[in-house]
Amino acid sequence: MTPPVAARAAQSAASSLQSRLKDPSLLRDRCYIDGAWVGTPEFAVNNPANGTELIRIPQLGADDATSAVEAAQRAFPAWAKLTAKQRSNILRKWFDLIIANREDLALILTSEQGKPLAEALGEVDIGAAYVEFFAEEARRVYGETIPTQRPDARLLAIRQPIGVCGAITPWNFPNSMITRKVSPALAAGCTVVLKPANETPLSALALAVLAEKAGVPKGVLNIVTGDAPPIGKVLCEHPAVRFVGFTGSTNVGKILYRQASVGVKKLGLELGGNAPFVVFDDADIDAAVEGAIVSKYRNMGQTCVCANRLYAQDKIYDQFVEKLSKKVAEMKIGDGTEAGVTQGPLINMKAIEKVERHIADAVKGGAKVVTGGKRSALGRSFFEPTVLSDVRPDALVAQEETFGPLAPVIRFKDEADVIAMCNASPFGLASYFYSRDIGRVWRVAEALESGMVGVNSGLITTEVAPFGGVKESGLGREGSRHGMDEYVEIKYVMMAGV
């Protein structure tokens, strides 16, 4: 095995991050293919809080991705033949190791992605919860017996692992998006080739170190970093790959959908959103403000399920805007590793430019900046958390996913009016609303066109929920027992003469 970065620390800027880790071997600068750490460090992974280069990692391409698929193909039969309990035990060990190393994993995550350390710890914990959940689910991949019209025949439907799976993940949740895909795949008996986001590959590599320690055999989990389009093409088109799970933008999801159609490949797509967050006039306003804060501003608004457009009913509009802005103005911006910081940097300058474009467009349409609205004095990609009032329903910010700390508050008259505005979007990932009217709760929850609805709650992610979207927000579900369905196929066996 190529030595971990520890042995070569002096060569790279990784040394300062490494010196803060309890287990420095978690920081890797090689890819993980067929149980070996391979490749030559090439492209830089930067810390968005200070712009320093953290480390360089390999820039692999189509040939390496093909090698990884072949490794996964070789490893598949033996992994699939283990008993469910054996696979479950290995996943359980992986979970234990993730928890034992949660501080290190969170520090790596914040260093490459920027979110405050407390949020990074939360992400590691939910990431681990997926592993724990699917360690348990591994033992519940049941089949069924189906009565037939023939007295001498029995029909069994069995569920088998689909085979080699590709996984492509984004930078906004570099830990939990990986475990949410890899743990059900491994639990089902599948093997995986994972391509993490280029901005945040270090969390993926650290998880692979722990998977290896947990006893995941060589070739069962492979990590390939580098050139996304050719790697993605291999994962979508190689005949050995039977499923590709993707989390990322709708545009890239559509490219993968087309590529996967060539080999009639099963695809899971967790794509972009444009979540409405509605506050009715019978709501508990303080609770709605708390919910809006957690939904909109966690991860600096770079969350697929985060509130993107806020709607407040006429009667409580001013009160909601005032209370929300007061809390937002108190947020502390800075390096996510510093105590008390609630808003880290955005991932890059492109993200800042999109927020600015959305603010400029809304202001042109008559919106007012109540708080924030500009780059932070800290420079780089730090942006002041922002609240806009008097935003028109047709403003760009209400049509597109902003992916930044910007809450545009739109006024509405009645329930029918707001449901129409919520559903007037090609996206349908998450929706939120606050109301204490029980009749309205069911009516509105059923009317909203989205895969997930938070009622009086701004936080809806849990490993026991079937996470996913409708319309252009995606296909399939991750997490819960339904998350296992992506990784198994049903075969029926008709047995006559029995």
Residues with catalytic annotation?
270
Q: Which residues pair with 199 in a beta bridge?
A: none
Our CB check for ligand NAD shows the closer of 193 and 289 to be 193
| The three-state (H, E, C) secondary structure of 458-477, written as one string | CCCCCCCCCECCEECCEECC
Question: Residues of 451-490 as b/e, b for ≥16 C-beta within 10 angstroms?
Answer: bbbbbeebebbebebebbbebbbbbbbbbbbebbbbbbbe
Q: Which residues pair with 432 in a beta bridge?
A: 277, 454
Our CB check for ligand NAD shows the closer of 233 and 392 to be 233
Locate 314 and state its tokens. 């006429």
| Dihedral (CA of 264, 269, 274, 275) sign | positive
Our CB check for ligand NAD shows the closer of 169 and 343 to be 169
| Closest separation in Å from C-beta 321 to ligand NAD | 26
| Closest separation in Å from C-beta 180 to ligand NAD | 8
Our CB check for ligand NAD shows the closer of 43 and 417 to be 43
Q: Which residues pair with 273 in a beta bridge?
A: none
Our CB check for ligand NAD shows the closer of 4 and 468 to be 468
Report the half-sphere exposure of 16 (CA within 13 A, side-chain side): 6
Dihedral-angle region of residue 467 (phi above 0 means left; psi in -120 to 50 means alpha; beta otherwise): beta
Our CB check for ligand NAD shows the closer of 368 and 471 to be 471
Q: Tell me the H-state helices in 13-116.
A: 14-19, 62-81, 84-100, 102-113
- Enumerate binding residues for ligand NAD (CB under 6 A): 168-173, 195, 197-198, 228-229, 232, 247-249, 252, 255, 270-273, 304, 401, 429, 469, 474
Report the half-sphere exposure of 484 (CA within 13 A, side-chain side): 21
The total of other beta-carbon atoms located within 10 Å of residue 141's CB is 19
| Dihedral (CA of 478, 294, 316, 285) sign | positive
**Of 165, 145, 163, 167, which Cα lies nearest the Cα of 154?**
145
Residue number, nearest CB to ligand NAD: 232
| Closest separation in Å from C-beta 98 to ligand NAD | 20
| Closest separation in Å from C-beta 329 to ligand NAD | 27
Dihedral-angle region of residue 283 (phi above 0 means left; psi in -120 to 50 means alpha; beta otherwise): beta
Our CB check for ligand NAD shows the closer of 337 and 473 to be 473
H/E element holding 357?
A: helix 349-364
Pairing of strands 53-58, 41-46: antiparallel
List, in order, residues 6 or more apart from 320 with CB less than 8 Å away.
279, 285, 288, 289, 312, 409
**Of 457, 462, 479, which Cα lies nearest the Cα of 126?**
462
Angle between helices 102-113 and 84-100 (to 10 degrees): 70
Our CB check for ligand NAD shows the closer of 471 and 481 to be 471
